[in-house]
């Protein structure tokens, strides 16, 4: 059904490319660049978010759209004449846990359109090649699907041992010549590859410092997720499914979302064998595993009659901590999820800062901003057994909102009773299950 819906949204040219890629998985595609016409560029423009950050030229989507047809025609002419040049990427640093930051690259609006046009073509080709173990940045797939696959592996007894892996600075470590060779296995159109190269080799402007990295892809780029998936498809997915699994004595499953992945094993000896060779395999592709974040976890189901004590080890995956939890009747165990402490702390701090910044705005405006922020968090983290984490966040948001509303004026102070009346008129989202991870993927 998802494939049918996707096909209906495609242009006839993209559908032909998709059908050829599906029929001939080892065939190279020779004619692709012609698909980037004005209609394709217009589709990509419409997909841009209205509030997306601006690049080095400061041009917003609205600015570009004021003379949209003329701008798209001019861009198409430059693409055909091969005079298009990718502008430098503006680098910003967003907060991460433990006082660290993550560098994000922001392209100019015109470059985002070109990147999305390239992504659209790459996607229809490689969606025919990608394996079921990959869930990140793929149409019709989500992080919750990866978590459901993990739940199914645990339920089927295939997750007695978990290999938790972390690739160090993945997107910055991708080897561009290797990536180019991977793309050339499926793409023979030199004009198309030249455009991909221009996006890959764009310079980076970090404050006043300009640099031109010779490896990696920029995080935040529209093109980076699909290129990262292609790289790990060759480096990890195919190797595990075609070479590793047939040699194992028990069942095993790779679950990957972009560069976050883990491997579940039925037998510990299989896990130890894969652990011993995984670093060497990734090393062949210039990737390295973080020594402190790559480990084997005993995750066998505790004895059914055990009523005291804790379950086996826990691990983190896609923003959740995964652990064994006793059933509500007191006996038996089931796998459960809770929001990672660092992610919960970050959400609380973000809501606090939002309340502080917007304290002088009208209450309905503050409420809408808070509601959007909390609902977005709940839509992702509102899974089975995680209501306590949601309740904690909601409690802290109420306290933060009350605190900063009290500081709006020195003349009158908002007491708690008046604030409760306000909350009845402007309620926050409820902490409940929004996503059922117990369904089969």
Tokens 């502080």 belong to: 356
What pLDDT does 302 receive?
84
Q: What is the pLDDT of residues 96-113, one digit of tens each?
A: 766 778 889 999 999 999
DSSP-derived letter for residue 204 is: E
Mean predicted lDDT score pLDDT of the chain = 91
Q: Find the angle CA(243)-CA(301)-CA(337) to the nearest 5 degrees.
A: 90
Residue 365's closest CA among 415, 407, 429, 426? Answer: 426
What pLDDT does 311 receive?
61
> What would the mean pLDDT of 173-193 be, rounded to a whole number?
95
Per-residue pLDDT at 3 exceeds 80? no
The answer to whether the CB of 260 falls within 8 A of the CB of 318 is yes
Interatomic CA distance for residues 367 and 394, integer angstroms: 13
Per-residue pLDDT at 306 exceeds 70? no
The answer to whether the CB of 414 falls within 8 A of the CB of 403 is no
The answer to whether the CB of 176 falls within 8 A of the CB of 200 is yes
% of residues, the chain, pLDDT over 70: 94
Per-residue pLDDT at 6 exceeds 50? no
CA 155 to chain centre: 25
Write the CA distances from 23 to 18, 129, 147, integer angstroms.
9, 11, 31
What DSSP line would sit under 140-174, residue for residue? T--HHHHHHHHHHHHHTT--SEEEEEEBTTHHHH-
What pLDDT does 411 receive?
60
What pLDDT does 354 receive?
95
Per-residue pLDDT at 162 exceeds 70? yes
Q: What is the pLDDT of residues 206-238, one digit of tens each?
A: 888 998 988 999 888 999 999 999 999 999 999
% of residues, the chain, pLDDT over 90: 76
The answer to whether the CB of 403 falls within 8 A of the CB of 384 is no
| Lookup: tokens for 293 | 């974040």
pLDDT-wise least confident of 232-241, 250-259, 368-377, 403-412: 403-412
Q: How many CB atoms lie within 10 A of CB 321?
A: 19
> What would the mean pLDDT of 296-322 be, rounded to a whole number?
82
Going by pLDDT thresholds of 50, 70 and 90, the confidence category of residue 416 is: confident
pLDDT-wise least confident of 40-44, 286-290, 366-370, 414-418: 414-418
Going by pLDDT thresholds of 50, 70 and 90, the confidence category of residue 371 is: very high
pTM: 0.91
What pLDDT does 308 receive?
56
Per-residue pLDDT at 125 exceeds 50? yes
What pLDDT does 310 receive?
57
Q: What is the pLDDT of residues 328-360, one digit of tens each?
A: 766 788 899 999 999 999 999 999 999 999 998
Q: Find the angle CA(215)-CA(232)-CA(269) to the nearest 5 degrees.
A: 125
Going by pLDDT thresholds of 50, 70 and 90, the confidence category of residue 149 is: very high
Among 10-14, 215-219, 308-312, 396-400, which range has the highest average pLDDT? Answer: 396-400
Interatomic CA distance for residues 302 and 157, integer angstroms: 12
Query: Exposed (0-12), middle (13-18) or buried (19+): which is 359, by Cβ within 10 Å?
Result: middle
Half-sphere exposure of 134 (CA within 13 A, CB side): 27
């Amino acid at each position: 059904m998802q494939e049918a819906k996707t096909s209906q949204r495609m242009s006839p040219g993209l559908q032909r490319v998709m059908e050829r890629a599906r029929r001939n998985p080892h065939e190279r595609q020779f004619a692709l660049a012609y698909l980037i016409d004005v209609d394709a560029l217009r589709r990509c423009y419409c997909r841009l978010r209205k509030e997306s950050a601006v690049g080095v030229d400061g041009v917003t989507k609205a600015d570009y759209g004021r003379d949209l047809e003329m701008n798209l025609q001019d861009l198409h002419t430059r693409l055909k004449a091969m005079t298009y040049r990718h502008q430098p990427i503006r680098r910003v640093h967003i907060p991460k846990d433990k006082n660290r930051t993550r560098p994000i690259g922001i392209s100019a609006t015109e470059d985002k359109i070109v990147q999305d046009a390239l992504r659209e073509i790459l996607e229809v080709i490689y969606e025919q090649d990608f394996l079921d173990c990959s869930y990140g940045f793929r149409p019709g797939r989500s992080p919750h699907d990866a978590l459901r696959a993990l739940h199914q592996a645990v339920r089927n007894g295939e997750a007695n041992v978990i290999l938790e892996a972390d690739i160090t600075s993945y997107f910055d470590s991708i080897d561009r010549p290797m990536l180019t060779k991977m793309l050339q296995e499926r793409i023979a159109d030199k004009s198309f590859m030249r455009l991909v190269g221009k996006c890959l080799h764009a310079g980076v402007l970090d404050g006043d410092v300009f640099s031109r990295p010779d490896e990696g892809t920029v995080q935040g780029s529209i093109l980076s997720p699909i290129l990262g998936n292609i790289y790990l498809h060759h480096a990890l997915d195919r190797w595990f499914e075609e070479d590793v699994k047939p040699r194992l004595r028990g069942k095993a499953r790779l679950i990957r979302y972009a560069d976050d992945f883990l491997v579940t094993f039925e037998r510990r000896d299989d896990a130890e064998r894969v652990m011993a060779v995984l670093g060497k395999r990734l090393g062949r592709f210039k990737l390295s595993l973080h020594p402190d974040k790559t480990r084997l976890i005993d995750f066998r189901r505790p004895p059914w009659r055990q009523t005291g004590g804790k379950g086996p080890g826990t691990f983190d995956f896609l923003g959740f901590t995964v652990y064994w939890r006793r059933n509500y009747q007191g006996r038996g165990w089931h796998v459960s999820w809770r929001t990672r402490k660092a992610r919960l702390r970050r959400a609380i701090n973000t809501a606090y800062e939002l309340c502080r910044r917007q304290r002088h705005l009208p209450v309905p405006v503050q409420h809408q901003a808070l509601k959007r922020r909390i609902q977005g968090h709940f839509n992702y983290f509102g899974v089975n057994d995680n209501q306590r984490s949601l309740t904690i966040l909601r409690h802290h948001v109420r306290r933060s909102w009350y605190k900063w509303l009290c500081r709006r004026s020195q003349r009158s102070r908002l007491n708690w009773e008046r604030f409760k009346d306000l909350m009845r008129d402007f309620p926050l989202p409820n902490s409940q299950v929004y996503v059922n991870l117990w369904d089969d993927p």
